Amino acid sequence: MEVGDNLTARCIMLQGTSSHVGKSLLAAGLCRLLYREGFKVAPFKSQNMALNSYVTGDGGEIGRAQGVQAEAAGVQAAVEMNPILLKPKEDMVAQVIVMGRPYADMSAREYRESFTPEGLEISRKALHKLRGEHDVVVIEGAGSPAEINLKDRDIVNMNIASLAEAPVLLVADIDRGGVFASLVGTLELLTPQEREMVAGFIINKFRGDVSLLTPALDFLENRTGLPVLGVVPFIRNLGIEEEDSVALYSRDGRGREKEEDSGAGALLDIAVIKLPRISNYTDFDPLDAEKDVRLRYVERKEELASPHSPDAVIIPGTKNTTADLAYLHSEGLAGEIMRLHARGGSVVGICGGYQMLGRRLYDPQGTESSALVESKGLGLLPISTSFNPRKLTRQVRARVSLHRSWGSLAGLELQGYEIRHGGSEVDGDIPSIAVLPEQEGAAAEIIGLASPDGTVFGAYLHNIFHNDLFRRRWLDSLRFRRGLEPLEGREDALQVGRAREESYDRLAFILGQHLDLERLYRIIGLESPPAGWFRSRLAAEGKGG
């Protein structure tokens, strides 16, 4: 196949023996590898359940994993890449996003019994559009294809593979244990027609000497008649955003371990509240990547109290602001945040966290909860928030006001995105962050505020810490309070965009080293790669010709 001469893209699908085996990351790596090799690539996942979401250029909301995979593939993210997104809202209830827009709130039973036939048709049309515009579509499944109770209404695994005529690579996580039983067992629970679609296996997250696995790999291939395309190593500190909070809740709460003598002196301690309905926590990945920051996620008030008092505490976004605000109060976290503020600590709120920093929250139409019409906020910023059913999703350019309270942050231009219901009214003329108007003379919309002393700020702007200069200067303001030298201007300063591109390339190169690429291309139905990126990089690193 020559690039660009096909009307219908080739497809390859990654399915897993369970959730969190690494399908999303492997899909991103394959997207990057194929893109670097000269193919026009698109990711696809028909149905995703995640509170980490991504806003496309036209304001559509999709799963963050597909946004990341689109970045890895070098293409603009589109709603067709994830036509159905489920965002858990309450126990057994989720907001259903269809083609980037809110569709309805549904219980699991309502969704399964009433929506899935329509959902399969929506997915078929989205996939058809992508196949007409690309050379290869890398498809990600969800959970396991062997979930017996879900198979009759499947719109994300084998039914999608059938629609796409996609060979399936079954992925298993060896780090969990039981990898061979999970692979063989999954195959045993598939129908004969489904087993015919499985073209091979990928074993993921391996630690150690792969030669020790050879007898087991031989057994697996002899038992199933299917090839093992490769054993992918456990990759540390890759720097690519995780799909959802399942990864967050696997952390030990201490954050990434860093050395105090990293060249930055003593580490800044930043605590993020691990809200029950936390969303878009990838906002804070750039902080975690900074050499002078120890980022930790906390659930107990004791983790904020002296002697564990952090330099700053962040209240993140949430799918249900009023419920998670009640959680802050019930667990004593609200009181501890106020005591931290009284001691001069910095307090930050993003999106739902920004709303919590205000004085009042009103929900007259039951947008978030039918139980609470009015809630009292923490009162650290002079705003009042009113929720309504209309959902605002958009990419945003904004500017920090020139007010002296912002210090070195004043006047900086920011990029990010918004996902919210309702808005906030500001009481008084105080330091703000405002959307840059698209038309000359249009009124600026305030989407963030700071306290007069600069110790508190909040904003609706997700990805605010992905803005390198804003992030670095804010961290240096914390360093100043600690009597530490600023780090702005260092040659090794983190540049998020460049680091992300390097991470995608690193992942693609690792996959190229550990997967049988010739067999993979044959399975997909591709000729030799036109660009030869992997071979060139392999030769440049002296690892082969």
Residues acting as catalytic residues: 351, 462
Would you call 479 exposed, middle or buried from its count of C-beta atoms within 10 A (0-12, 13-18, 19+)? buried
CB-based contact 299:249 (threshold 8 Å): no
β-pairing, 198-206 vs 278-279, is: unpaired
Long-range contacts of 70-74 (CB under 8 A, 24+ apart): 70/31, 70/42, 70/43, 71/500, 71/504, 72/28, 72/29, 72/31, 72/32, 72/35, 72/43, 72/504, 72/507, 72/508, 73/31, 73/32, 73/34, 73/35, 73/41, 73/42, 73/43, 73/138, 74/35, 74/41
Q: How far is CA 91 from CA 88, 246, 351, 364, 369, in A?
A: 8, 16, 22, 21, 12
Listing DSSP states for 139-150 in one string gives: EE--S-TT-TTT
Helices 23-36 and 533-540: crossing angle, nearest 10°? 90
3-state secondary structure of 267: coil
The token pair that represents 483 in the structure block: 């009597």
The token pair that represents 528 in the structure block: 């030799």
End-to-end CA separation in angstroms for the chain: 24
CA 480 to chain centre: 32
Phi, psi of 326 (to 5 degrees): -60, -35
Assess whether the previous peptide bond of 530 is cis (omega < 30° from 0): no
Q: Which helix (H) or strand (E) holds 449?
A: strand 446-450
Using CA atoms, how far apart are residues 167 and 389, in angstroms rounded to an integer?
41
Q: 369-398 b/e with 16+ CB inside 10 Å = b?
A: beeeeebebbebbbbbbbbeeebebbebeb
* Length of the chain counted residue by residue: 545
DSSP 8-state secondary structure symbol assigned to residue 436: P
Identify which of 525, 489, 440, 460 has the alpha carbon closest to the alpha carbon of residue 199.
525
3-state secondary structure of 89: strand
Residue type, 71: E
